[in-house]
A and B are shown apart, each in its own frame.
Chain A
Amino acid sequence: MGAFIWLTVLTAFRILFRNRMRAGLTMLGIIIGVGAVIAMVSIGQGAKAVVQAQVASMGTNVIIVLPGATTVGGVRGSQGSGVTLTVSDALELKKRVPLLSDTGWSKRDVMQIVYGNKNWNTPVNGISPSYLTIRDWSYAGGGPFTQADMEAGARVALLGQTVVESLYDVGEEPVGSVIRIKNVPFRVIGVLTPKGQSAQGSDQDDIIFIPFSTAERKVLGTQFLGSVGALFASTDHPEDLPAAVEGIREVLRARHRLQPEQQDDFTIRTQVDIGLVQEGTSQTLTLMMFSVASISLLVGGIGIMNILLVSVTERTREIGVRMAVGAKRRHILMQFLIEAMTLSLVGGLLGIVFGVVGARITTVVAGWPTIISAESILVAFFFSLAVGLFFGLYPANKASRLNPIEALRYE
């Protein structure tokens, strides 16, 4: 059987090469289908990777708790406008929800920063030191402030890359310099590594961090001491997020003395929620690609079936001769199946080549990031094989059922 298959494959390639014009046109459907899918998948995966990097830049396994809206005289304020969350909430959560590896808090306001003769308006964030680790910030120069700075209300600041670019000349060293926020001098002790755009499109590097206590007392001011703009918490593993969210809700509801019929006076968000939206988008995209691929593979498959039916008719006498000298049904069946699969496979491989080249061109010309995964190439490969098998079955079966006497007599 080994010699049989080997020779049949060889013959199939020879026939394909001999009729290369016809074979090429036949394979066009498969080439276009596979090529389009490979190119689209790699563009889609490139885009997905960019979004994933953005999500990761917010810190992984992060839970964000925002205060609820205030209601003043029946007018409901925007989300986060309330002052229902406090520093003690954060400390209590860390104690009572064991799944949380750490909690932090922040309070922010857009303020004018002055350095030398330049100024810049940017969100000033008063944060707990733990916030920096939860959100996974790292440092291009200098380092973070500490719990001691926090307790002392030290006037130290960390600058985002955009702020540095706006206030400092090229080559000027920000670390060690003094900036003024609301006329209060702060010493710059660190510059943050850029994170780029957030998933929502805002510039994450346009930011200044100062210790929460310093912010509360000297810069931002407060309605009542200890109220925060947002709470942050992290878990060690992403799969702990849902349980941790429930724990936080329970503790906060109890602390805020909410009755069962009352709604939460806070909102809990996780990266999972953000991820879900993206997943929905990519699922739609995947479905669309899948239908485009299916249609073109269907068309390609029908083309293969058509050309094979022609080939079976043209070679009726040959089939008769093969049967006369001892070919069994399965020999004829295999011969035409192998020819069909050779067509679809060569088409698939050409399609893969075109797809990869297409993706590269997209990257070079349009500047879109593309990722060519081995997975999509393998799937395309086996899909085209399956198309050949499926659409070759009918012509091959037809050939194998020919009556040898009639086939030999066929003109």
Chain B
Amino acid sequence: MGELILCRDLWKIYRLGDIEVQALRGVSLSIERGGFVAIMGASGSGKSTLMNILGCLDQPTRGTYLLDGLDIGKASRDELAEIRNLKIGFVFQSFNLIPRTSAVENAQLPLFYRGVSLRQQRERAAAALARVGLRGREHHAPAQLSGGQQQRVAIARALVSEPAILLADEPTGNLDTESSREIMGILESLNRDDGITIILVTHEPDVAHYAARQIVVKDGQILSDRSREPAPVGGE
């Protein structure tokens, strides 16, 4: 399998006027293919910054980040866009679906920027929607779907491009308990059954509990990095 993500001594320094903010202070981290990792931390801990860098939305000020062998620190803006398109699927707290646009059109969005034929876009998006249990809702607009269903569309959108990593940023933050359980169940299944690497950013221990490995970030540094023993097959 090997390392999918390899971070060495990542620093991120912002300038806010005269004040220098060190959001990340020397983070080293490796995540292997097929892993299910939760990144935890209070707000202001640097976990969002770390997630943005891991998601190739941002680049570190210092240090190296290799994603699937690609040096992200050296990529241009458009190269980053292409890497995101090919390697990363995002799931956001507030779903971030495009309003008044059908589920299938939302789900096909990554393929839209990949120059795939329209027919293939539709077929693959429909398959991704089916995978998250939304068969038959392809033509519903986000406003016609419940929160949990909207988040499932978002997961389908992340899945459709067959990414190396699925990056979920507080995916249950806007959902009730029941929907949260559903969404986490889907993520768990994607990791377990489809072997998709998942990085979950959360501050809720209940949610983090689904991940096999929990990394706690505080003050821009990794405070702890614990893995639980893999659960026996058929367990829990």
A residues whose Cβ falls under 8 Å from a Cβ of B: 1, 3-4, 6-7, 18, 317-318, 320-331, 404-405, 408
Contact = CB atoms under 8 A, between A and B. Distances in A.
B82 A328 contact: yes
Contacts of B150: none
A321 B96 contact: yes
Interface string B108-131: 011011111110010000000000
A3 B81 contact: no
A408 B97 CA distance: 11
Contact of A4 (B77, B96, B100, B113): B113
Contacts of A323: 81
Interface residues of B, number: 30
A329 B80 CA distance: 11
A4 B98 contact: no
A22 to B, nearest CB: 14
A323 B77 CA distance: 10
Interface string B84-96: 1110001010001
Given A1-B115, A318-B98, A324 B90 contact: yes
B78 interface: yes
A326 B81 contact: yes
B21 to A, nearest CB: 15
A324 B57 contact: yes
Contacts of B57: 324, 404-405, 408
A232 B112 CA distance: 74
Contact of B110 (A6, A318, A325, A405): A325
A317 B96 contact: yes
Contacts of B112: 3-4, 7
Contacts of A325: 84-85, 90, 109-110, 113, 157, 161
B58 interface: yes
Contacts of B64: none
Contacts of B81: 323, 326-329
Contacts of B85: 325-326
24 contacts: A3-B115, A3-B116, A3-B121, A4-B115, A6-B118, A7-B118, A317-B96, A318-B98, A322-B113, A324-B55, A324-B84, A324-B96, A325-B110, A326-B81, A326-B82, A326-B85, A326-B110, A326-B113, A326-B114, A329-B77, A329-B78, A404-B57, A405-B57, A408-B96
Given A4-B112, A404-B57, A405-B52, A326 B100 contact: no
A11 to B, nearest CB: 8
Contacts of B157: 325
A249 to B, nearest CB: 72
A317 B90 CA distance: 14
Nearest to B108: A7
B52 A326 contact: no
B117 A3 contact: yes
B113 A321 contact: no
A18 B110 CA distance: 24
A324 B80 CA distance: 9
A328 B78 CA distance: 5
Given A3-B118, A324-B96, 18 more contacts: A3-B115, A3-B121, A6-B118, A18-B100, A320-B96, A321-B96, A321-B109, A322-B113, A326-B110, A326-B113, A326-B161, A328-B78, A328-B113, A329-B81, A331-B113, A404-B57, A405-B57, A408-B96
A159 to B, nearest CB: 75
Contacts of A4: 112-113, 115
Contacts of A330: 78
A331 B109 CA distance: 12
Please give me the 9 A-B residue pairs with the lowest Cβ-Cβ distance, nearest first: A326-B85, A325-B110, A326-B113, A328-B78, A328-B81, A321-B96, A3-B118, A324-B90, A327-B113
Most A CB atoms within 10 A — which of B81, B109, B113?
B81
